[in-house]
Amino acid sequence: MAGAFARRLVREPLLHFAVLGAVLFVAYEWARPESAGRDRVVDIDRHALNRLQAQWEAQWRRPPTREELERLVDARVQEELLYREALAMGLDRGDAVVRRRLGQKLTIAWADLAALAVPDDAELATYYEAHRESYRSPAELTLSHRFFSRDRRGEEAETAAADALQRLQAGESVADDAFHGAKMLTLPNAQRLVGDFGTTFRDAVVAAAETGIGEWFGPVRSAYGWHLVRIHAYSTPRARPLAEVRDQVHLDWQRQEIEADRDRRLNALRDSYEVRVAPLAPSTSGPGTATDADTP
């Protein structure tokens, strides 16, 4: 009986898995290079303590107690120990998330270095001239409108709007339909009209604004029906001088320099490595057949 049980136990896959795991663990513990100068010191210095305290205060709006600080230190030590052992076991290799995160940290470090550059007046002026159109002040537009719904009035909506226009121009009040948006709008530019009213409405308003303001006009068609419009204020875009937008130009110049510096460093890295790519397999699908490569 005991012999049969032993034979069944020897054939058990779970036992094989457990034994293999134990062997690998023992081999790792025996082979890891502790004697080769591996750093076995975890140092939580005053700078690290200050950082832990600052993080706690930022979250809880008060300094930590001694017991809370001890728990923070224990957690930090545990994090460092697990991190070092994971690196020693090579657990970082082949992990796409770890690879991507390390790449992000490197590019952030490059950006921090590039951000230290300070442009002189000539560099800022050159950048400003090359991107002058980006620093034009937007047009400002204030209008009110009366709405006549195509859904509610059908084909009579345009006629009702035309009749109401005559009364408005005569100084009378009119009853119009409810609109899902405001009846008076102040916008940073006429392009914002497209989202609510459509391009036909936007074009009619801009054309009227450039010839004069203050009078009711229409009917103007939108995606919802017909409108009578009165423009109260309109200003065209204007070029802003460098002195007025200097801070924004500085930020934009810095952003461009950071991107250029990143590209230079990446190109230098590529030049310092020999990159080998296996031949790409030709597609076996016929014309017009979707493949994985066609899928976003």
The DSSP element (H or E) to which 40 belongs, if any, is none
Residue 214: left if φ>0, alpha if ψ -120 to 50, beta else—which one? Answer: left
* Closest C-alpha to 148, from 224, 40, 252, 240: 224
pTM above 0.85, yes or no: no
Q: How much is the pLDDT for 30?
A: 46
Q: How much is the pLDDT for 160?
A: 95
* Closest C-alpha to 140, from 176, 186, 181, 106: 186
Residues (pLDDT < 50) of the chain are 2, 5-6, 9-10, 15-17, 19-20, 22-24, 26-28, 30-31, 34-37, 290-296
Alpha-carbon gap, residue 222 to 151, rounded angstroms = 12
Alpha-carbon gap, residue 115 to 277, rounded angstroms = 34
Alpha-carbon gap, residue 269 to 285, rounded angstroms = 37
Q: How much is the pLDDT for 282?
A: 75
